[in-house]
Amino acid sequence: MAVELLKGNVAFAEAAVRAGCEAYFGYPITPQTEALEHMAKRMPELGRVFVQAESEVAAINMVYGAAAAGARVMTSSSSPGVSLMMEGISYIAGSEVPAVVVDVMRGGPGLGNIAPAQCDYLQMVKGGGHGDYRSIVLAPSTVQELIDHTVLAFDLAEAWRTIVVVLADGSLGQMMEGAELPPMRPPRPPSERAAWALTGAIGRPTNLVSSIHLEPSEEEAFNQRLQAKYAAIEAAEVRVEEHLTGDARIAVVAFGTAARLAKTAIAAARDDGLAVGVLRPITLDPFPTAALRALAERVDGLLVVEMNAGQMLQDVQRVVAERVPVRFFGRTGGVMPMPEEIGAAIRELAHEVGAADDAAPWQEVPA
Amino acid sequence: MTTAPLATTPVYERPDALTDVPTHYCPGCTHGIAHRLIAEVIDELGVRETTIGVASVGCSVFAYRYFATDFAQAAHGRAPAMATGLKRVSPERLVFTYQGDGDLASIGAAEILHAAARGEAITVFFLNNATYGMTGGQMAPTSLIGQKTTSSPLGRDAASQGSPIRMSELIAQLDGAAYVVRRSLHDVVQIKRAKKAIREAFEVQQRGLGFAMVELLSSCPTNWGMAPDEALGWIRDAMVPAYPLGDFKVPEGLRPARKGAHA
Ligand SMILES: Cc1ncc(C[n+]2csc(CCOP(=O)(O)OP(=O)(O)O)c2C)c(N)n1
Ligand code: SF4
């Protein structure tokens, strides 16, 4: 496969096709609609399932149905649409069927706008739907990663029988970037669907896909099993990138697009003599707790940068537990934080914690 | 002619498509009759191993315990969407939903209308008992004008609480709907007619003719505050006039032409 210029939304949709996705159910919403449009063309052409649902509520329940049948299935949407999916996501978690959801986040709350944002971190990482469930949440920061994470999402979803969320944002969905698509994997034939799937009880006892446990002790036993699974996921599936953290005295913690902007910002700060690095959680759940804690032992201060009002910040504060000062810089409402602004926040923190002694003199950055 | 002892001739047996467990339904509730009819048809068509049911949220939430087929349990109102997903990736399986009136006509109104409009090749059994049975007898979209429920204690008032929705008539308007009929479970004759309709609704799916729905007028003696026989009388005398029985849409060629009928 060769590197091509690809638009994020089209890239992840095509990646899903090549990962053997058998069915896509969705509803148009900016800034992810190109994914739905790509699927509308590609899936029928390959003899696979595409349905434009009447709502995101219906879309996620169609996903639930196809997942219950043991098919590789996905949906994609953006913030307001994902809010509507929360009930279905909880049912999917509660019945342990595998499914992939791509959320191309936009500015909110409410109808908000269609500009890139990261303001659904808490919704996607901390639940959003009802009940004690968790999802695996992947946070790509380039179009290439958006492709790779979509493929990985299907494999993780099936390996763990869980929801996997690819948490992108409007800039990733809309940007065009050089990236390489994976080779085509043919879909699994229906005869090879999982043993638990609803395939018809031919010569075997009947299967049930359900999230109901009326007896509290049974529900608790089920919850304990879910928690044990989440603990196993935490032990096996943490993914994190550390960028120039080896000698860092200050580290930026950021995910997705914000991490990308932070990398640009620290390059400039390093030119000015500041020892700065970036820790980028790739899995938001499971959160890279150990890597962050180890980093907090080494640096003098952490700056969390997000395209929201400080959501992952809560996780960073929890993990760091006041070992070092944690400061925050964020922009909201679909406004992207500029590298210069991030740079200013880095310098401010460096001065505060005495990590800027060898650096060039502090300069106010024009707003 | 040899005479076999009478006792060895079974006249009433549990269909293979029903499990051998007691149901949780109240005495006199017609959910049990509907289950049995569906199971008998599944047996007669020989499709127990190739059928997937979708239970809804309502008193029939545990339908999966009683049918000996693969089953899914959907969120409240979402059974037609879940069935859409199941059927689209398993076109060679028979997929049916079993839904109450709160589930189908209220919270799931969008899902049922659009499944019908898309002509999803699924079979829907719609149990209309004019109330929310499971949550204790609140007003349903199908409650009759003047019907007293726990959330319309003075009787349903059209001006403030709207009028009953006749879902079969509504859905029959949609081009995607192939088969839409209303039957009742209040006496033996009606029950036999209901069974025929259930069979036809599965055959519509088997023959790839499109979306099929059988509405079944059903009793809820517990929440209506009636004895079982009184409840059956109320279906006949109060519900049937508001929900006329009949065929709203039947695909051409489904039934053999009657003898002597003109083409
Ligand atoms: C989202 C959601 N809202 C409300 C409920 C509570 N609830 C459970 S069953 C039910 C009504 C079911 O009535 P119907 O569909 O008429 O079925 P019946 O019990 O009469 O057979 C309601 C409101 C729920 N489970 N989920
Ligand atoms: S509450 Fe009504 S609908 Fe529910 S089982 Fe009892 S009689 Fe049947």
pLDDT tens track for B175-185:
999 999 999 99
Minimal CA–CA distance to A19: which of A8, A27, A11, A28?
A11
Find the B17 Cα to ligand 1 centroid distance in Å.
Answer: 25
* Binary contact (B88, A95; C-beta < 8 A): no
Nearest CA in chain B to A206: B70
Q: Which residues of A touch B (CB under 8 A)?
A: 22-23, 25, 49, 51, 53-55, 57-59, 61-69, 71, 73, 87-88, 91, 95, 190, 198-203, 206-212
Q: Is B196 a domain residue?
A: yes
In the 8-state DSSP scheme, what is residue A285?
Answer: E
Q: Is B26 a domain residue?
A: no
Q: What is the pLDDT of residues B153-193, one digit of tens each?
A: 999 999 999 999 999 999 999 999 999 999 999 999 999 99
Find the A347 Cα to ligand 2 centroid distance in Å.
Answer: 68
Place of tokens 């504060």: A317
* Chain A environment of B90 (Cβ under 8 Å): 69, 71, 190, 198-200
The residue ranking higher by pLDDT, A1 or A268, is A268
Q: Which atom of ligand 2 is nearest to the CA of B31?
A: 8
What secondary structure does DSSP assign to A287-334, as a single string?
Answer: --HHHHHHHHHH-SEEEEEESSSSSHHHHHHHHHTTSS-EEEEE--TT
Place of tokens 């500029």: A338
Query: In whole angstroms, what is the distance from residue B14 CA to residue B31 CA?
Result: 16
pLDDT at A367: 47
Q: What percent of chain B has pLDDT over 90?
A: 92
Q: Is B22 a domain residue?
A: no
Q: Is B181 a domain residue?
A: yes
Q: Which of A17-26, A97-106, A130-139, B250-259 has the lowest mean pLDDT?
A: B250-259
Ligand 1 pocket, residues with Cβ under 6 angstroms:
B 57-60, 76, 100-103, 127, 129, 131-135, 140
**From edge to edge, which strands make up the β-sheet containing A326-330?**
A240-243, A276-281, A250-253, A301-306, A326-330
Its domain, for residue B55, covers 31-249
Cβ-contact A162, A94 below 8 angstroms: no
Please report how the helices A8-18 and A33-45 are oriented relative to each other, as an axis angle in degrees rounded to 10: 30
Question: How much is the pTM?
Answer: 0.96
How far is residue A314 from each of residues A64, A304, A317, B131, measured CA to CA in Å?
31, 10, 5, 46
Cβ-contact B239, B206 below 8 angstroms: no
Find the B67 Cα to ligand 1 centroid distance in Å.
Answer: 20
Q: Is B9 a domain residue?
A: no
Nearest CA in chain B to A75: B85
Query: In whole angstroms, what is the distance from residue B58 CA to residue B38 CA?
Result: 18
Predicted interface score ipTM higher than 0.90: yes
Q: Is B90 a domain residue?
A: yes
Place of tokens 């308007």: B173
Query: In whole angstroms, what is the distance from residue B68 CA to residue B51 CA?
Result: 10
Among B51, B82, B113, the residue with its CB nearest the CB of A65 is B82
For residue A246, how many other CB atoms are within 10 A of its CB? 9
CATH code for the domain of B56: 3.40.50.970
Count, residues in chain A: 367
Number of domains in chain B: 1
Q: What is the pLDDT of residues B117-163, one digit of tens each?
A: 999 999 999 999 999 999 999 999 999 999 999 999 999 999 999 99
Cβ-contact A319, A293 below 8 angstroms: yes
Domains and CATH numbers, chain A: 3-236 (3.40.50.970), 241-353 (3.40.50.920)
For residue B132, how many other CB atoms are within 10 A of its CB? 25
Q: What is the pLDDT of residues A66-121, one digit of tens each?
A: 999 999 999 999 999 999 999 999 999 999 999 999 999 999 999 999 999 999 99
Q: Is B23 a domain residue?
A: no
3-state secondary structure of A126: coil
